[in-house]
Amino acid sequence: MNVEGPSTAEAEGFGELRGGALGVRIATTAAEIDAAMALRYRVFYDERGAVPDAAAAASQRDRDAFDAVADHLLVVDHERGSGPESIIATYRLIRAQAAAKVGRFYSADEYDISAVVAFPGQVLELGRSCVHPNYRGRAAMQLLWRGIAAYVFLHRIDLMFGCASLPGTDPDAVATELTYLYTHHLAPPAIRPRALPHRYVDMRRTDPSGFDARRVLVQLPPLIKGYLRLGGFVGDGAVIDEQFNTIDVAVLVKTDLITDKYFRHYERQTREPGE
């Protein structure tokens, strides 16, 4: 696959945000994107038990048709170097213009996202998030969210969406989590994705009065908690992804609901002096 980085103008428009030795920015070279796909392979396949096809196993890379059109958000550790070896976290960002080149968004393989696509404004699909195991503290995740906030601000994104995962392929093993998400965070009908009929798994799997909602929130995967803290919603129905050994839920965040400090911080950084 021929993967090219974003244009120079795109990279300069975003810049790099720093937090100590760590920085977050958009990949600018094919070598950096290749390193991000290698990190994804190590996390998804070697660590979490995803099942590679022959091409992925041979290349030791997690890649698909969307990588060539996406922007790749990177967290880099400058103490590890200045090239691809510095990459310790990544997130794949796909705007509508990029999805049009493939003919669909990635999530369309699991969900009916027609309501999302019809949303009046700019939409952004997020996916393939992973962090190197040695960096799974708050610093790397906070930088990823700062990077997403900066990207949203730069491109005037109105709605973010994607698929987030719970571990394993047995929905009854995460019955409490799925029920909690459906009961407390279901998206409004106007923007609600629904799992495709042949993949639909009912999220209402237990009596919501039988668990402590605050305790369930704490035990959710960090990525899902991050979306919810930004005022996020979930779609109707979970999807079992046998290849990636996960149970997926659709997540959405309307950016006009976000008053998070990352957005205010980035807006201050981009103001002209004297404004």
Q: Which of 35-39, 81-85, 271-275 has the highest mean pLDDT?
A: 35-39
Residue 8 reports pLDDT greater than 50: no
Residue 3 reports pLDDT greater than 50: no
**Could you give the angle at the alpha carbon of 22 between the alpha carbons of 149 and 249, nearest 5°?**
45
pLDDT of residue 230: 86
What pTM did the predictor assign? 0.88
pLDDT of residue 1: 44
**At 67, which amino acid appears?**
D
Q: Which residues contact 238 (CB under 8 A, 6 or more apart)?
A: 166, 171, 178, 195, 201, 202, 203, 247, 248, 249
pLDDT band at 229 (very low <50, low <70, confident <90, very high): confident
Q: Which residues contact 197 (CB under 8 A, 6 or more apart)?
A: none
Interatomic CA distance for residues 88 and 136, integer angstroms: 10
pLDDT of residue 260: 52
DSSP string, 126-158: EEEEEE-GGG-SHHHHHHHHHHHHHHHHHHTEE
CATH 3.40.630.30 fits 8-270, yes or no: yes
- Per-residue pLDDT, averaged over 199-217, amounts to 96
pLDDT band at 263 (very low <50, low <70, confident <90, very high): low
pLDDT band at 131 (very low <50, low <70, confident <90, very high): very high
